[in-house]
């Protein structure tokens, strides 16, 4: 199966259109104002999908099977308390303590109408007819009842294309997520129909291989942070996603962030950002500066963050260069201390001169026993990425050296 940027852009438009229709239908049913949140095309392994579900929050979902112009499953998921709030709005006489027959019926109707909104939007964009099965009510706290029996849901180590949309209620705590699990053969057919005939595209298996390289790079970054700071860290959340450039800043936390940005030069070129919340950045400075200053974000603190950024950048991309048999240089670290999306806006503006969408390697590294987060955003130039992946030898991935050439021991002992 080949992934073409034009076709993936069509899928993205399809997801946005469907989310808009679903949000409007939820508003009409509940009289609650809604807005479309973040829409993403995620390439996620089965283990990551299951981790996302298994957050110990009780959930309910409405699931339908699709056939015809698109095959797979569409799944609307509410947190259980949010679903009960909706039921209480629709069924005034219910005490809404649980999902008896009446409440299940009401919630199933909501989910069916919202699923239909998504599906109608997809059918409009794709110019096809999509048939829908009878809706199924699902309840649980793990991934198993929701996706355990779906053919399109990947095994632990397999990479699957997963559509995710989020709709938020305005001024209330009612929100939900939508997942589309397309069948691979059906997706391949649609990609072929909507692709650019002049584009070489990207082989799906090679993208999966490159995703594995990003995973290895993230593990190397976590190891380097542990070595330099003594803070035990590991890769907790990671995914490869395809998104419009304008949507990427929406995912940045609305808080003061500290970090570094690097411009990549080579195959692929692009940008690499490491971002800490202020609390985590202070921990980095305190752990790496012998006599931490009162102002952790003064000259000494900036120097410590930038030095760590250099080492993390080498750890992340050296494996890419080795596997791709190419050279990838990175610029000196540019220190960042700003609020929310402002930290990434300059990158988006630069990339936006030549492209509308991007593949984003999005990773969060967390300390094992402390409040410490490091977010990594690797955003390659799409043409460079396509060229690099077309030349990728999958067999090199497991054998290639992924350790950074950066003299980390010298830094640690200096």
Q: Mind listing the domains of the chain with CATH numbers?
A: 2-194 (3.40.1550.10), 202-413 (3.40.1550.10)
Low-confidence ranges of the chain (pLDDT < 70): 92-97, 171-175, 292-293, 396-414
Residue-level pLDDT at 146: 92
Residue-level pLDDT at 400: 56
Residue-level pLDDT at 61: 93
Residue-level pLDDT at 94: 56
Residue-level pLDDT at 407: 45
Q: Nearest to residue 374, comparing CAs of 226, 266, 265, 244?
A: 226
Residue-level pLDDT at 338: 94
Contact 377, 259 (CB under 8 A): no
Angle at 363 between CA 360 and CA 365, to 5 degrees: 165
CA distance 219 to 188: 31
Residue-level pLDDT at 336: 93
pLDDT, tens digit, 9 for 90 and up, residues 94-131: 555 678 888 899 889 988 988 888 888 888 888 899 99
Residue-level pLDDT at 290: 78
Residue-level pLDDT at 335: 94
pLDDT, tens digit, 9 for 90 and up, residues 81-92: 888 888 877 776
Residue-level pLDDT at 398: 64
């Amino acid at each position: 199966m080949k992934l073409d940027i034009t076709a993936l852009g069509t899928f993205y438009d399809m997801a946005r259109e469907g989310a808009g229709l679903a949000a409007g239908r939820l508003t009409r049913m509940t009289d609650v104002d809604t807005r479309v949140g973040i829409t993403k095309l995620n390439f996620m392994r089965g283990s990551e999908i299951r981790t996302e579900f298994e957050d110990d929050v009780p959930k309910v979902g409405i699931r339908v099977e699709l056939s015809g112009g698109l095959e797979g499953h569409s799944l609307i998921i509410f947190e259980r308390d949010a679903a009960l709030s909706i039921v209480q709005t629709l069924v005034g006489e219910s005490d809404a303590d649980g999902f008896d027959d009446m409440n299940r019926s009401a919630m199933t109707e909501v989910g069916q109408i919202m699923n239909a909104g998504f599906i109608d939007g997809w059918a409009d964009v794709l110019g096809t007819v999509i048939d829908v099965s009878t809706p199924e009510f699902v309840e649980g706290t793990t991934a198993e009842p929701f996706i355990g029996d779906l053919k399109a849901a990947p095994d632990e180590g397999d990479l699957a294309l997963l559509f995710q949309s989020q709709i938020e209620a305005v001024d209330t705590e009612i929100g939900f997520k939508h997942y589309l699990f397309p069948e691979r053969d059906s997706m391949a057919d649609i990609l072929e129909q909507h692709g650019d005939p002049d584009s070489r595209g990207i082989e799906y298996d090679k993208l999966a291989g490159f995703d594995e390289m990003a995973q290895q790079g993230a593990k190397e970054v976590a190891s380097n942070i542990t070595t330099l700071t003594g803070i035990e860290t590991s890769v907790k959340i990671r995914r490869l996603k395809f998104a419009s450039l304008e949507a990427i800043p929406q995912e940045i936390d609305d808080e003061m962030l500290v970090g570094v940005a690097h411009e990549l030069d080579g195959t692929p070129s692009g940008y690499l950002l490491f971002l800490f919340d202020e609390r985590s950045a202070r921990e980095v400075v305190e752990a790496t500066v012998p006599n931490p200053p009162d102002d952790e974000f003064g000259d000494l603190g900036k120097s410590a963050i930038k030095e760590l950024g250099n080492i993390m950048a080498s750890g992340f991309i050296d494996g890419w260069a080795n596997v791709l048999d190419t050279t990838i240089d990175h610029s000196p670290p540019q220190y960042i201390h700003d609020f929310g999306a402002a930290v990434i806006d300059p990158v988006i503006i630069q990339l936006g001169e030549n492209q509308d969408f991007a593949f984003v390697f999005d990773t969060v590294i967390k300390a094992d026993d402390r409040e410490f987060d490091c977010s990594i955003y690797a955003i390659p130039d799409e043409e460079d990425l396509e060229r690099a992946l077309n030349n990728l030898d999958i067999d090199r991935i497991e054998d290639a050296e992924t350790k950074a050439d950066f003299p980390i021991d010298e830094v640690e002992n200096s």
